[in-house]
Amino acid sequence: MQRFTLSRFAFAWLFTLSCICVLAQERKPSPVQPPDGFKFDGTWDCAGTFRNGKTHHAAYQGKMILGETWIELSEQDIEPKTGYVAKYLIGYDAQQKKIVEFDANNFSAATYTSEAGWQNGTLALTSPISDDSKAPYAANRFVFHIDKPDAFTVDWEISKTANLNWVSADHLSCKRT
């Protein structure tokens, strides 16, 4: 009887110790999270210009989802009044070891990746290179840059050639509201 009680005590002690060890492990932040504690959470007022000089004004809504491992950004254009709305999901693909972005909008859809991840407050997410000679560009990318705790910029850049000579197509400066 005493041996059985000792065994139960030893088992309970080891079980408790293993639970404490698991709980004490520090959860690594997702590689998708921006540096210095920046969060895309909240509402953002974004203003800038397209490559042709026309005004671009949009509202962004951001939040971390799926256990703080993905960024969800929603965009709704205010100007121009095209009705453009988009949902961007940015996360980390552990199999590919890349940050990925899924861009779903009411005009199209696209995917982007970044092997480098966040570098000096900047994340560049690049599309695959198109071999369609009739496409308006060979590749495009989104470049996010953290300016300060309540501000970021996002640039949409295009390259007309496969050797990736980037040209700005859209620039937005966003401030938390």
In a domain, 154, yes or no: yes
What are the contacts of 56-60 at 24+ separation with CB within 8 A?
56/80, 56/170, 56/171, 56/172, 58/172, 60/174
The pLDDT assigned to 77 comes to: 98
In a domain, 27, yes or no: no
The pLDDT assigned to 2 comes to: 55
In a domain, 26, yes or no: no
- Taking the C-alpha atoms of residue 6 and residue 3, their distance in angstroms, rounded to an integer, is 5
The domain tally of the chain equals 1
In a domain, 89, yes or no: yes
Residue 37 is classified by DSSP as G
In a domain, 110, yes or no: yes
> pLDDT tens for residues 93-145?
999 999 999 999 999 999 999 999 999 999 999 999 999 999 999 999 999 99
Tokens of 2: 């005493």
- Taking the C-alpha atoms of residue 19 and residue 126, their distance in angstroms, rounded to an integer, is 42
In a domain, 13, yes or no: no
Tokens of 39: 């969060």
The pLDDT assigned to 50 comes to: 98
- Taking the C-alpha atoms of residue 166 and residue 145, their distance in angstroms, rounded to an integer, is 16
- Single-letter residue type at 91: G
In a domain, 8, yes or no: no
- Taking the C-alpha atoms of residue 87 and residue 72, their distance in angstroms, rounded to an integer, is 7
In a domain, 129, yes or no: yes
> Which segments in the chain show pLDDT lower than 50?
14, 17, 19-24
Q: CA end-to-end span of the chain, whole Å?
A: 68
- Taking the C-alpha atoms of residue 152 and residue 148, their distance in angstroms, rounded to an integer, is 7
Instruction: State the CATH number of the domain containing residue 73.
Output: 2.40.128.20
Question: 94, 86, 46, 105: which is closest to 70 by C-alpha?
Answer: 94
Note whether 68 and 33 are within 8 A (CB): yes
Structural domain boundaries enclosing 71 = 35-176
